[in-house]
Amino acid sequence: MSNNGKVLIAALAGAALGAIAGLLVAPNSGKETLDDISKKADELKGELEDMATKSTLSVRELGDAISENIKNSMNGLRKELDEKKG
C-alpha cells in the first residue's frame, strides 16, 4: 500500500475516533448517541468500501499495464530473433 493510502486510512480512522469521542461526551440521550454512532459507522463503511473499490481498480490497471509491457517486450524480442535468423 502506498504512503498516500496509509495516510488516508489513518485520517479516516482519526476522524472516526474523534467523532465517536465527541458523541460520547455530548449531552444526548443514550438512544440518540447510539443512533449517531450508527450513522457515523455507516458513513465510514461507505468511505472504506469506496477506497477498497478504488484500490482494486488501481491494482487491476497496474496488472494490465505490466501485462501490456511484457507482451510488447516479448514481441520486440521475437522480432529481433527473427531478424537475426533472417
Residue ranges of the domains in the chain? 3-85
How many CA atoms within 13 Å lie on the side-chain side of 81? 6
Place of cell 510488447: 72
Give the per-residue pLDDT at 56: 81
Residues 6+ apart with CB under 8 A from 44: 12, 16
> pTM here?
0.45
Q: Is the pLDDT of residue 33 over 80?
A: no
In whole angstroms, what is the distance from residue 58 CA to residue 76 CA? 27
Render pLDDT for 41-57 as a digit per residue (tens, 0 to 9).
888 888 888 888 888 87
Q: Average per-residue pLDDT in the chain?
A: 81
Is residue 86 pLDDT above 70, yes or no?
no
Distance between CA 26 and CA 33 in Å, rounded? 8
- pLDDT over 80 at 20, yes or no: no
pLDDT tier for residue 25 given thresholds of 50, 70 and 90: confident
